[in-house]
Amino acid sequence: MIQNIIKGINGYSGALALISRLKLWKYFFIPIIISIITAAIIGVTAYGLSDNIGQFIAKIWFWDWGKQTFTTISTIIGGIIIIAIGLILYKHIIMALSAPFMSPVSEKIETHITGIVKHNHRKTSFQEQLWRGIRINIRNLGRELLITIPILLLKFIPVVNIFSTALLIMVQSYYAGFGNMDYTLERHLNYKDSVKFIRQNRGLAIGNGLVFILCLFIPFIGVILVLPLSVTAGTLTTVKKLKTSNQTLM
């Protein structure tokens, strides 16, 4: 697992240079616009709701002693909850809506890596790519929320809340990497087999998604570069894995 996480992270090495070399920046224009708009909407909403959630949580403390301390802690936890859910919604929205634009990018990178111009790929249309992106991300959104909500509840338990933060980042990273890798898998595997492939290569997905999540904490620039970098890295990692697995590239 650790080795695969490192491989997923290493996929980002030279990603920017490869994008420039293959002249792929034009393909990212619309996805970047989608990313900026989505981030702005979620950011403004999160800012407005964090205090409200904190105050709502604080109501469960009925005693006067320690009320102010608990309210402060609740506000912090409310902020964490909003950030976590905001990140979940952000990544699934942009990944779903960007699918038809990212698939051609992934294919060009794959052609560059393999040198094979005419692949025996599954043929899909713009609408089919969009539908698959929506389907994959709705599935992942539901599963991620089911896992994330119990983890967020652990924030109320001292000491345990430290480990819950690490677990939360791992979950977020896994599903982010899932989406980035699926832009390549879409051409080679059907829906069911793609899910199976990601499960068998969780480390690769986590490694790719970890950098994705960290990029979002870089003000403004992170929102712009997160898709180009993560999709390129995800393609490099996935193509290499496909070549060494039973799903050989043709």
Residue 66's SS3 state is coil
Residue 226 lies in a domain: yes
Query: What is the average pLDDT across 64-78?
Result: 71
Residue 249 lies in a domain: no
Q: Which token pair is 191?
A: 């829906």
pLDDT (tens digit per residue) in 124-178: 677 777 888 888 899 999 999 999 888 887 876 777 777 888 898 999 999 999 9
Taking 80 as the threshold, does the pLDDT of residue 182 lie above it? yes
Residue 61 has what DSSP assignment?
-
Residue 166 lies in a domain: yes
Measured from the Cβ of residue 197, the count of other Cβ atoms closer than 10 Å reads: 23
Residue 211 lies in a domain: yes
Residue 250 lies in a domain: no
Residue 129 lies in a domain: yes
Cα–Cα dist 153/87, whole Å? 17
Give the total number of structural domains in the chain: 1
State which of 3-17, 60-74, 123-137, 148-162 shows the largest mean pLDDT: 3-17
Confidence category of residue 191, pLDDT binned at 50, 70, 90: confident
Residue 229 lies in a domain: yes
Residue 191 lies in a domain: yes
Taking 80 as the threshold, does the pLDDT of residue 244 lie above it? yes
Segments forming the whole domain that contains residue 181 = 2-244
Q: Report H helices in the chain.
A: 2-10, 15-21, 29-58, 67-114, 126-153, 160-188, 191-200, 202-215, 221-244
Taking 60 as the threshold, does the pLDDT of residue 2 lie above it? yes
CA dihedral 13, 11, 133, 122 (to 10 degrees): 110
What single-letter amino acid sits at 247? Q
